[in-house]
Amino acid sequence: MGDAANVRETVAAKFRELLTLMAEGRSVSILPTETPLTTQAAADILNVSRQYLVRLLDNGTIPATKTGTHRRVQLDDVLAYKRKRDEERHKALDTLVKLSTEYGGYEDLES
Tens digits of residue pLDDT in 69-111: 999 999 999 999 999 999 999 999 999 988 888 888 766 555 5
Instruction: Calculate mean pLDDT across residues 35-48.
Output: 94
Instruction: Calculate mean pLDDT across residues 49-58.
Output: 97
What is 17-81 written as a DSSP string? HHHHHHHTT-------TT-EE-HHHHHHHHTS-HHHHHHHHHTTSS--EEETTEEEEEHHHHHHH
Band (7; pLDDT cuts 50, 70, 90) = confident
Q: Give the pLDDT of residue 64.
A: 96
For the chain, domain boundaries: 1-29, 31-111
Give the class (CATH, top level) of 31-111: mainly alpha
**How much of the chain exceeds pLDDT 70, in percent?**
94
- Average pLDDT over the chain reads 89
Q: Give the pLDDT of residue 106.
A: 67
The C-alpha atoms of residue 22 and residue 86 are separated, in whole angstroms, by 21
Is the distance from CB of 89 to CB of 95 less than 8 angstroms? no
Instruction: Calculate mean pLDDT across residues 26-39.
Output: 84
**How much of the chain exceeds pLDDT 90, in percent?**
58
The C-alpha atoms of residue 105 and residue 98 are separated, in whole angstroms, by 9
The phi, psi pair for 71, rounded to 5°, reads -85, 150
